[in-house]
Amino acid sequence: MIHASEVLQSTGGCLLICLTRCVDVYTFTVDMGRPRKSEDHKRSKLFPLRLSPRETEFFSRKARALGESVASIFRNGGMLYIQMRSKDGSQKRKENKQ
């Protein structure tokens, strides 16, 4: 026998039945969501940077096209610039002095 509380939907001759009683479960625990970042990985410092409207629009457009944030572009770009300068820049200066 089918009880009214067990019937979910009856349309077009199809009868959908829950095999178990419907129960709403809400779970809130401390470990839900993204894990906490360690102190050395938290991004809490701001670095002031002045850009012209043209530069702002350029970086915003390019970041959107890449699917990244402008902050991520600056972070990654800055690291790449320093890595390239420390390798190529120091070698070129030595070559120019000789």
Q: Is the pLDDT of residue 13 over 70?
A: no
88 CB-near residues (< 8 Å, 6+ apart): none
Say what the pTM is.
0.49
> Is position 12 within any domain?
no
In a domain, 90, yes or no: yes
Radius of gyration of the chain measured on its C-alpha atoms = 29
Tally of domains in the chain:
1
Q: Which structure tokens are listed for 12?
A: 């077009």
Which H helix or E strand runs over 8? strand 7-11
Residue type (1 letter), 8: L
Name the residue range of residue 67's domain: 51-98
Residue 41 pLDDT exceeds 80: yes
Using a pLDDT cut of 90, give the percent of the chain over it.
36
Q: Is residue 81 part of a domain?
A: yes
**Taking 80 as the threshold, does the pLDDT of residue 49 lie above it?**
yes
Instruction: Give 46's pLDDT tier (boundaries 50, 70, 90).
Output: confident
